Structure 1
Amino acid sequence: MSETQIPGFNLFEEAVEYWVDATQRTILYWDVIRKRGNTYLEHLSKDQPPVLIFDYEVIIDGRTLEKPVNYSLSRILPRDGQTTDLNKRPIVVIDPRAGHGPGIGGTKEDSEIGLALKDSHPVYFIFFYTDPVPGQTLADVKNAEIHFLEEIRKRHPDADEPSVIGNCQAGWATAMLSADRPDITGPLVLAGSPLSYWAGVDGANPMRYRGGLCGGVWLSSFFSDLGKGKFDGANLVLNMELLNPANTFWTKQYNLYAKIDSEESRYLNFERWWGGFFCMTSEEIHFIVDSLFVGNKLEKGAMKMEDDREIDLKNLQDPVVVFASQGDNITPPQQALNWIVKVYGTVEEIKRKQQVLVYMVHKKIGHLGIFVATSVAKKEHKEIIGSMDMIDYLEPGLYEMIIEPGDNEMVMAENKVSYEERTIDDIMVLDDGMEDEQDFEPVAFLSEFNDGIYQAFFSPLVRMTTTEFTAEFLRQLHPLRIQRYPISDINPMMFPVSMLASMVRKYRKQASPDNFFVSLEKHFSKSIEDCLNYYRDVRDSSQESMFKALYGNPIVKMFFNKELPEEAKAEIKRQKDELQTQSLLEDEDVWLNRMTEGGFPEGVVRIMLAMAKADHIIDKAEFIVSEKIVRSHPTLKKIKPADFKKMVKGQSRMLQTDQELAIDTLVKLLKTPEERAEAFEIAEKIAMADNVLADEEKALLETIKKTLGI
């Protein structure tokens, strides 16, 4: 056979090479899919335990509590060679119960759990089982988690309160828990966690419209009835998959096919978690959809738990770190951050409540990448966990956490971490306004109306015709399950695939990367991805237009709206503003009258805080130097941590209320020349902590020097 010569390459040889490679990749691809099915069945046979790579021991099984729940508290066991400092702040990781199983926060060495272990923290993990306890509610789960945290406090009486990391949907659960019992938690980390469900940018965040277009909470009630009182979490996973059809139906699978020689392990590990579907009770999913997805009650302070007690996020007393990403299409930054605007309104109110709120917005990482990406773990999560103690001592206010590369030999730090003061406007600039949220008010009203009709007329009929067999039968027919177990070793037709795959691996022959047909394949794949992305954009745009046409309609708003008239809302806002202004004035009087209280410790702490915030940027290096000073000083090191923390908060508020007066009254606290000289020396050390003396720091040093008469 003659060869067809083309300048630069031989088409016939490249075609044969590509055909062999493509055929082998096809066989290997289906073998990996077969292994995925086997992994799914194996995971099911073990009751779907957490997908952690770390060993753990169960401390409390929530199924044995007075009000049993399908949650348990476990302690992560350190690796060989790792040490745990029992007096260090415990780190508690809670994974989302949003259809998948637990463990995503510890599937790699470089993960939230892995990094906390490396930093010698005692690490605990709160996980859940596949099936809920019949009748359990979110209030029961919250109370069980409170019990877990109380147990952790008992185990570490000399350590600071445990820091709780809530991933995705576990974030709002963590916020609710801490708002209800702020005495048992330390700093909170809300990673990719939505607390403002109506927020978003027009044309960019379509997921928030789904509840309204489906008619509200009645649909989850219907699915729960079909499940005999259990809601199948696979429905939530499918909803997430349909959000990005290109990735679901093509890109993820093609990436495996194209990189079949190197991608198998990563793909199977991820699918082990992604294919683990967990259930909720009908009470749980109804509460979540009605109160959060559709009702958005948490940020309003209108969410009621047991005994009709309302959960108010203003009751949060511990620092909160919000980690969001502009590349997250499930929890966009607006849904992660806008609750701060709604709950507090102004930075002055945040300071009055002596609250510390820190946020960090990644430029491009996707939703899952926030929890599983190694690059994110090594940078953002590492610095968040490493800064827990510092965050607990920040002045009340709103900050953005900035991480930049750069060594600091003085404090042996790999990255430069700083906290820059921000305003409410800095959060609002991420949004395109909150006016679009008014369209969601009729959704909440119609949701309750539709669910009332369903519960009264249709639910009894569905429940009457549903049995345990039909419920399980429908669960097994779910598209996400049926694509897994039939393509496994329980299907005898997959035996030839397994046999051929072993032969292919033995005689594997890859095509050259510059093969013409390989390049053509990649272009073809890109065209399919572009087509699916175009479909997604048209679909999302259509759904957004439909939502606005329906719920933005003035007639709909007139008849289906719980909102008060504009005049009434304006009056309520006026009264609220007056009350807040009065509270701020009263708070200022308190701190102005306490300016001269205390002695050397209060004076030194005030100077340290003033120097740290002189340029409105608080560096981690300054905190490390301050910590060394406190730990080595004969007077300061004797102060109990709780008392020292209280002192820091008080001195911070004095500086924020009137910094000039706070500096002028230092002479009342530092009474001797020796105390003043020592305090000024400490101020100089803080100023030079980052090896840079800013103009603001230089000016403040001169002011302190003059005030103290040095």
Structure 2
Amino acid sequence: MFTEFTQQLRNSFELYQKSSHLFSRRSELANTQATARFKEALADAMGGKITPQEFWSGYGDYVVDFAQRSVLFMDTLRQRGNNYLEHVKAGQPPLLHFDYEVVLDARKFETPVNYMLLKIIPPAGVKIDPKLRPYIIIDPRAGHGPGIGGFKDDSQVGVALREGHPVYFVSFHPKPEPGQTLLDVCEAERRFVAEVRRLHPHSPKPVLVGNCQGGWAAMMLAASNPEDTGPIVINGAPMSYWGGAFKEGEGDNPMRYAGGMLGGSWLSSLTADLGNGVFDGAWLVQNFENLHPSNSMWDKYYHVFANIDTEPPRFLEFERWWGGFFLMNREEIEWIVRNLFVGNTLWEGDLRARDGDRLDLRAIRSPIILFASMGDNITPPQQAFNWVADVYASTDDIKANGQVIVGMLHENIGHLGIFVSGKVAKKEHAQIVEVMKSIESLPPGLYAMKINEEKGAGGKIEYSVEFVEHRLEDISQRLNKVGRKDENIFEAVAEISKHNQRSYEMFVRPWVKMIANEPMAQALRTLHPLRLQRWILSDLNPMMAWLGPVAAQVKAQRRAVPADAPLRKAERFGSSMMSSLLDFYRDMRDGMTEKSFFELYGNLFLMGVEDPDREVPQVVTEPRQLAVVKEALAAIERGGYAEALVRTAALIKRHGQPFLLEQIELKRDLEESYAHLLPKMARADWRQLRGVQEIICRYEPARALASLPKLLSNADERSRYLALLDALAADPRFIEHGLDPSQQAIITKIRASLAQPAVARGAPKAAPKAAAKAPVKAATKPAAKPRAASKSAAKPVVAKAASKAAPKPAPKSAVKASAAAKPSAAPAPAVAARNLVAAKPVAKPAAKPVAAKPAAKAVAVATRSRSRKAAS
């Protein structure tokens, strides 16, 4: 007992030393940055030689300019206040740049919620193809109102419309319906998706695009309704709430400590109780503003003041959205804080939807695209990506589940910039839409999406996209420098939060409810600092009545001083110093918060405050011992025609080579030509089958090749398999790309192994067995005839995919893309164009000639000349 106590003291002292050292480094970094800011500002102010006489000669003009800018700046704030009052009076409708019509209003559902589904009306000159895949954009409900996903023409809504896709927008009203919960909202969103599918019966499943809070809401929706949802794009969405940087020199994730420093979830409950059962979203916006005091208190205002002749329209437009504060029910905010912010339990699989189904992310069968930024201190990359390692045990687990996960990381854009930046919309969001069909064609695995900029003809910027495969184990280690050990301490936060919440509910809540009422709640909301600073500087205040007429006269007699005038430079120097001081305060505050957090909860964790009965999972370090690997290898001799095709593709996969967009398009053409030789299965089933076969070929390539004849023991299936090889070998579109020697060698071995007699053509055929515990269900109905691809003017985009995952000793080979099933059509197996060819070219096609498409149509595909969006 004494030894254990001594060890706890030793660990506590070590923790104190580490946190103190880390704070010292944070302080040093803050000082360095402040000094650099000072030198930079001073150099700008002192730039150029100037005499004292020249400095003061413009003094009079500067005073007039300063006074005029002051009047115009105050008038801008008055207009902001008026805009706020007008927006509130109008009911705070969605602030979308585009016209829209209401498709469904969930306030009229049996279980009403304050959500609605909007259909975006395309602007003049934009033509929508109703057969293309619809996009459903879910805006965040995190204090602000809806609209950020379609705030301007260059936005998520805009780029999808310009590609011809129908676009729908999930919006919401300012006040929640009485008693509504987040699970009720999830159920309403399921009905929205069903309605979109009903309106577009001949289109692929809709893409879900979730921003911030809308991101994890989209994942909840997809997990509860995986059969109706297509690919999911989540932008800046916190999914693993305990994650963040914890290394020397970085203190950029302060929000993850906020719950612990406030004692857990009880404060949110108190705020909601004081609001008469309604939580004011303005407090969430206040948290965002506190992250950047320099911007919230100085920079954004000085930028308007310094550019008063041009900046007010942009400032007023953004402030209309930023100042739209929405409400939540007490049940909603408590659910969010307990299960997400503090508890981090959403993805453990224990939560259930309203109908009782488990919210299990492993049930999602569609590709998932994650977009985060290194410059985002609200949703750092660790919080955006770590959930993958929480849900999947390894890379092989991802593959065995047939899942495609694509990550994209911006270098420096801030949280809001992910959604509202025009540059990000035209580059990242546009390319996601552009290559969505290619993403669906990727084999299962974890990929990084990289967008390269190139100058084309006339100096126009063109983009090329590449997908590089990574190991989950490597990505997790790269993002989390201490192996996520720092997250263990948050277990103590969760336990303390539960205790404080129970104490509040027992001893405080009854008294608060006795005094809370609607007039008091409305008064508290009206007097919230963020609302007060708006309406008090508006025409509602009689002391502002003089400002409008005076500002109009000032504009008529404006005498602006050039920005490079000496006194304007001195003004900028003073502004820079104020901004630098506030940044220094923020850095020191965040560093001290981090230090206090780890010293307080770290000691509680060491003392065993976390659940003592919690089962600690055994970490498997040898990949072959993983359950998914054992199950896949156990099924190495089980299967049939479909497994044989997919295994062939996996055997000749060439690692480290890019997927080109032209190759993916050629593969689609070949799918249409040889659909009669391909099994009919859903695309998600193909991906799962491909993942299992890749595991087999990675760990046992020799056995995988040797056992291939057993998968084709039936004579009819073997003949069908060889017919496909022969047909491809004779197809001029296929010959254009050719195979390398290693691929030729594998095909030669395959043909030699299949030369042995198979089961007689008239013999009974055994039903193919699926891989153990990784069933792949074939479609019960014949697939419909493939639809013609929709062609439109393409942007010069190249989609590549390169695998960095080091395989076990397997022959080098290439699979240019996995099969991507056409909606309602027979999907191609995971056999890329370029994969299957005879060792020696076949002079004649199969007995039954296959009508090949004109070579010019498929081969004349310039790498950067076209990008066909076939029902994507």
Same fold at TM > 0.5? yes
Pair 1:127-2:166 in alignment: no
Is contact 1:592–1:654 with CA below 8 Å preserved after alignment? no
Greater shift after overlay, 679-688 or 542-551?
Answer: 679-688
What is the distance in 1 between the residues matched to 2:738 and 2:302? 54
Is contact 1:99–1:236 with CA below 8 Å preserved after alignment? yes
What is the distance in 1 between the residues matched to 2:554 and 2:89? 30
Is contact 2:95–2:321 with CA below 8 Å preserved after alignment? yes
What's 2:575 paired with?
525
What's 1:452 paired with?
502
What's 1:108 paired with?
152
Pair 1:516-2:560 in alignment: no
What is the distance in 1 between the residues matched to 2:470 and 2:623? 24
What's 1:506 paired with?
556
Change (3 A) 1:655 1:341: closer
The unaligned stretches of length 5 or more in structure 1 are none
Q: Secondary structure at the match of 2:103?
A: strand
What's 1:573 paired with?
618
The partner residue of 1:486 within 522, 533, 536 is 536
Pair 1:213-2:261 in alignment: yes
TM-score, normalised on structure 2? 0.74
What is the distance in 2 between the residues matched to 1:263 and 1:686? 58
What is the distance in 1 between the residues matched to 2:623 and 2:798? 42
What is the distance in 1 between the residues matched to 2:537 and 2:680? 58
Pair 1:585-2:635 in alignment: no
The partner residue of 1:294 within 342, 357, 367 is 342
Which residue identity lines up with residue 147 of structure 2 in the other structure? G
Deviations 1:88-124 (A, max 9, x none): 1110000111000001000111100011111111100
Change (3 A) 1:164 1:576: farther
What is the distance in 2 between the residues matched to 1:291 and 1:86? 39
What is the distance in 1 between the residues matched to 2:146 and 2:170? 8
What is the distance in 2 between the residues matched to 1:501 and 1:637? 75
Deviations 1:252-273 (A, max 9, x none): 1111111111111111111011
Q: Secondary structure at the match of 1:443?
A: helix
Is contact 1:663–1:704 with CA below 8 Å preserved after alignment? no
Deviations 1:213-264 (A, max 9, x none): 1111110000000000000000000011001111110111111111111111
Is contact 1:442–1:557 with CA below 8 Å preserved after alignment? no
What is the distance in 2 between the residues matched to 1:365 and 1:240? 16
The partner residue of 1:190 within 212, 230, 234 is 234
The unaligned stretches of length 5 or more in structure 2 are 1-48, 710-717, 741-796, 803-810, 817-832, 843-872
The partner residue of 1:85 within 129, 142, 145 is 129
What is the distance in 2 between the residues matched to 1:682 and 1:35? 65
Higher helix fraction: Structure 1 or Structure 2?
A: 1
Q: Radius of gyration: which is bigger? A: 2
Change (3 A) 1:283 1:521: same
Q: Aligned-pair distance for 1:347?
A: 0.6
What's 1:615 paired with?
656
Q: How does 1:94-243 map to 2 (within 5 A)?
A: 94-202=138-246, 203-243=251-291
Which residue identity lines up with residue 674 of structure 2 in the other structure? T
What's 1:353 paired with?
401
Q: Secondary structure at the match of 2:372?
A: strand
TM-score, normalised on structure 1? 0.90
Q: Aligned-pair distance for 1:207?
A: 0.8
Which residue identity lines up with residue 584 of structure 2 in the other structure? Y
What's 1:285 paired with?
333
What's 1:654 paired with?
693
Q: Aligned-pair distance for 1:587?
A: 2.8
Q: Identity, % of aligned pairs?
A: 40
Q: Aligned-pair distance for 1:300?
A: 2.9
What is the distance in 2 between the residues matched to 1:151 and 1:698? 41
What is the distance in 2 between the residues matched to 1:643 and 1:227? 50
Which residue identity lines up with residue 371 of structure 1 in the other structure? F
What is the distance in 1 between the residues matched to 2:722 and 2:524? 75
The partner residue of 2:480 within 419, 427, 431 is 431
Pair 1:441-2:478 in alignment: no
Change (3 A) 1:574 1:647: closer
Change (3 A) 1:201 1:125: same
Is contact 2:396–2:628 with CA below 8 Å preserved after alignment? no
Greater shift after overlay, 155-164 or 583-592?
Answer: 583-592
What's 1:421 paired with?
469
Q: Aligned-pair distance for 1:627?
A: 3.3
What's 2:730 paired with?
678
Q: Secondary structure at the match of 2:189?
A: helix
What's 1:41 paired with?
85
Q: Aligned-pair distance for 1:51?
A: 0.5
What is the distance in 1 between the residues matched to 2:641 and 2:653? 21
What is the distance in 1 between the residues matched to 2:739 and 2:317? 48
Is contact 2:402–2:684 with CA below 8 Å preserved after alignment? no
Pair 1:550-2:587 in alignment: no
Pair 1:21-2:65 in alignment: yes
Q: Secondary structure at the match of 2:443?
A: coil
Change (3 A) 1:123 1:687: farther
What is the distance in 1 between the residues matched to 2:211 and 2:654? 31
Which residue identity lines up with residue 201 of structure 1 in the other structure? A
Q: Secondary structure at the match of 1:240?
A: helix
Is contact 1:163–1:188 with CA below 8 Å preserved after alignment? yes
Which residue identity lines up with residue 137 of structure 1 in the other structure? T
Is contact 2:113–2:177 with CA below 8 Å preserved after alignment? yes
The partner residue of 2:675 within 610, 619, 636 is 636
Q: Aligned-pair distance for 1:696?
A: 6.5
What is the distance in 2 between the residues matched to 1:243 and 1:292? 20
What is the distance in 1 between the residues matched to 2:294 and 2:676? 58
What is the distance in 2 between the residues matched to 1:612 and 1:155? 40
Q: Aligned-pair distance for 1:505?
A: 1.4
Greater shift after overlay, 89-98 or 690-699?
Answer: 690-699
Q: Aligned-pair distance for 1:20?
A: 1.7
What's 2:12 paired with?
none
Q: Aligned-pair distance for 1:495?
A: 2.2
Which residue identity lines up with residue 377 of structure 1 in the other structure? A
What's 1:594 paired with?
639
Change (3 A) 1:462 1:657: same
What's 1:624 paired with?
665
Q: Aligned-pair distance for 1:560?
A: 2.4
Which aligned segments of 4 or more residues in structure 1 are displaced greater than 6 angstroms?
575-580, 609-612, 637-642, 661-664, 686-703
Is contact 2:137–2:169 with CA below 8 Å preserved after alignment? yes
What is the distance in 2 between the residues matched to 1:640 and 1:507? 78
Q: Secondary structure at the match of 2:168?
A: strand
What is the distance in 2 between the residues matched to 1:147 and 1:573? 41
Pair 1:393-2:418 in alignment: no
What's 1:267 paired with?
315
What is the distance in 2 between the residues matched to 1:397 and 1:176? 21
Q: Aligned-pair distance for 1:307?
A: 6.5
Which residue identity lines up with residue 689 of structure 2 in the other structure? G
What's 2:56 paired with?
12
What is the distance in 2 between the residues matched to 1:364 and 1:592? 49
Change (3 A) 1:702 1:530: closer
Which residue identity lines up with residue 675 of structure 1 in the other structure? A
Is contact 1:89–1:122 with CA below 8 Å preserved after alignment? yes
Is contact 1:63–1:71 with CA below 8 Å preserved after alignment? yes
Q: Secondary structure at the match of 1:618?
A: coil
What's 2:806 paired with?
none
What is the distance in 2 between the residues matched to 1:24 and 1:304? 60
What is the distance in 2 between the residues matched to 1:556 and 1:641? 54
